[in-house]
Amino acid sequence: MSGVQDVTASPGKSAIVMVLAIPDYGKAKPKILDLCGKLDALVRSQLNRFPGSATGTVIAFGAEAWPRLFPDRPVPDELQPFEPIVGEKHVAPSTPGDIFIHVRSARMDVCQQLAGIISQALDGAVEPIDETHGFRNFDGRAIVGFVDGTENPTGDDTETFATIAPAKTGQADFSGGSYVFIQKYLHDIKGWEALPVEEQEKAIGRRKYDDLELPDGAKPENAHNAVTNIKAEDGSELKIVRANIPFANASRGEYGTYFLGYAGKFSTTRRMLQNMFVGDPPGNADRLLDFSKAVTGTLFFAPSPDLLADLAENG
């Protein structure tokens, strides 16, 4: 795989993420389809120039954009505007977005160059809503100091949970595609760092130094990894692939995490969010949210590489 639409790539790389609006679909569509068609070549060019950069890009489309860009295509089953989740203390807001671009690489300069090329290709077709530059933190740790992505599936399970399975006969086939949910979190880093390490560990559900999971007897019910651990009716664990990135603006005292979840079923992601913000039972909300505020929330669909090429050619 060239790195285009690779939603299973390992997290912990530098990244640039962009959320874009489409003000005029008639004007924008030709440029968007052209980008879809040449995105693979753009990524391959970077990989040829910088073979150790592990560069990849994902383009995804929002619930309002998909039917307007591709009116002759069915809409993915779970692609719809994200409905806010309101708990007793915390809110997962819903924010707009028509196109999502995720550029990641082992090198930030390569990220910057590719993001610039993509932006030039879309010049005049889109308007920026948000752009966030994330970096690989020490040992792949989140900005709050704990290793991130430990709960991600591994091996063959990665693709199983991150992408849509082949459709049954007679259904629209979106296999290989992925539902992309994004949330930008801002952390009360002063309040968090004022907590003793033992209290931080109880909030996360893991030890800070060696990343070992706390035993059940020592892990509170509202620990982050407890509330996000959900199971299917048959008792099997349901997972998503997280590609979270830390970001910061030190002069403003701004420290955050850009949550980026790829899943074959958005219903899995939503259950995790419901548990975090409302709690199961209600009131047992994620302790980490006492120090982390979600300021965005948008759902997109990332087509498979094959479908992306087909959309570019046939609309």
Q: Which residues participate in catalysis according to the annotation?
A: 148
When computed from its CA atoms, the radius of gyration of the chain, rounded to whole angstroms, is 19
User: How far is the C-alpha of 135 from the C-alpha of 12, rounded, in Å?
Assistant: 8
Cβ-proximal residues to 299 (8 Å cutoff; 6+ apart), any chain: 62, 63, 79, 80, 81, 82, 179, 180, 181, 266
User: 3-state class of 170 per DSSP?
Assistant: coil
User: How far is the C-alpha of 139 from the C-alpha of 30, rounded, in Å?
Assistant: 42
Cα separations in angstroms, 63 against 68, 83, 301: 9, 12, 8
Cβ-proximal residues to 276 (8 Å cutoff; 6+ apart), any chain: 90, 92, 224, 227, 228, 285, 286, 289
DSSP per-residue letters across 17-57: EEEEE-S-HHHHHHHHHHHHHHHHHHHHHHHHHSTTS--EE
DSSP 62: E
User: How far is the C-alpha of 117 from the C-alpha of 52, rounded, in Å?
Assistant: 20
